[in-house]
Amino acid sequence: MSAPESIEKTDAARLADLRQNIDRIDAEMHGLLIERSEIVNALIAVKGTRSSGQAFRPGREADMMRRLAARHRGILPLDTAENIWRIIISTFTYVQAPFSVHADISAGDGPMRDSARFHFGFTVPYVPHAGAAAVIDAVARSQGDLGIFRPDQKTAVNPWWEALRNPDAPKIIARLPFIERPDHPAGTPLYVVSKPLEDAAVRETVLVAARVERWREDTQQALASAGAEITGSAGVEGGLSLLVAIDGATGSEAVREALEHARVGRVEVAEIGSHANRFQLS
């Protein structure tokens, strides 16, 4: 047997071994998913979450995504790994407590649908709406659905965040995408809202709806001095409504104090949700 024939047979044998290893890994991954489903089934029996609509754990999900990004290596794109884990998490959440995702498509259906499918998969039903207010209303009337809409909607009156002020109203529980990078395939910035969770959502960033009687030039500076940022504003009856983001360790009272210091008249503040800080790749 000549040397080229020997090398050819050796390469063929190695290819066969590599493909056999891939088949083994595929079978093991499938087996692990089945094992995970059995554990989730046991959780359903213990916690009774199938009918409660309270299977969301934003803090746990954020920790999982941070660990995923930190340990990722090799030729597999991080986008693919993130998408796989997102689908696993969302699908098993859906198995525990079926829910739909209500999406505001007023700025276009394509980006919203892409984001919904990337983060929640195809098993979870996708329901389009015209405007953030309609999304919030649908979530409020549901048993345990989620809503998604862009945080940068421009509004002169009736701002969407005012609909979240009531303690029993839906609240923001996440901001997507969590792993932040310029080339993210589902990079449309989104807020996620749900009914108030039984377990407190992660509070790295707290969002506050603040009503004031008037605007003063030093209002923004006063909030910045407290570590807060105005991310939206709109007119309401009797004054102005501000959407303010602040570090969760500081909280809404710091927003109130900063606004009172700015002499903007009567101040009313209400926390309307919170979310994990986005993970930025180095």
Does the residue 282 lie in any domain?
no
Domain's final residue, options 145, 173, 200: 200
Same-domain status, 79 and 118: yes
Specify the pLDDT at position 8. Answer: 63
Looking at the whole model, is its pTM more than 0.85?
Answer: yes
Chain position carrying tokens 């498509």: 105
Tens of pLDDT, residues 39-91: 989 988 887 655 555 678 888 888 999 999 989 999 999 999 999 999 999 99
Alpha-carbon span 54 to 77, nearest angstrom: 32
Average model confidence (pLDDT) across the chain? 89
User: Is residue 133 predicted with pLDDT exceeding 90?
Assistant: yes
Q: Is residue 81 part of a domain?
A: yes
Q: Which domain holds residue 39?
A: 1-47
Q: What pLDDT score was predicted for residue 241? A: 93
How far lies 40's CA from each of 30, 35, 36, 238, in Å?
A: 15, 9, 6, 50
Identify whether residues 15 and 75 lie together within a single domain: no
* Same structural domain, 179 and 222: no
- Residue 266 within any structural domain of the chain: yes
Please count the structural domains in the chain.
3
Whether 69 is covered by a domain: the verdict is yes
Q: Which two tokens stand for residue 232?
A: 């939206």
Determine the 3-state secondary structure of 245 from DSSP. strand
Residue 280 inside a domain? The answer is no
Using one digit for the tens of pLDDT, what is the confidence trace for 138-193?
Answer: 999 999 999 999 988 766 678 999 999 999 999 999 999 998 888 888 989 999 99
- Whole-number pLDDT of residue 12: 85
Residue 68 in any domain: the answer is: yes
Instruction: Find the CATH number of the domain harbouring 209.
Output: 3.30.70.260
Indicate whether 218 and 270 sit together in one domain.
Answer: yes
Cα distance between the two ends of the chain? 53
Looking at per-residue confidence, does 127 or 2 come out higher?
Answer: 127
- Residue 119: partners with Cβ closer than 8 Å, 6 or more residues away: 86, 90, 176, 177, 186
Tell me, yes or no, whether 120 and 186 share the same domain: yes
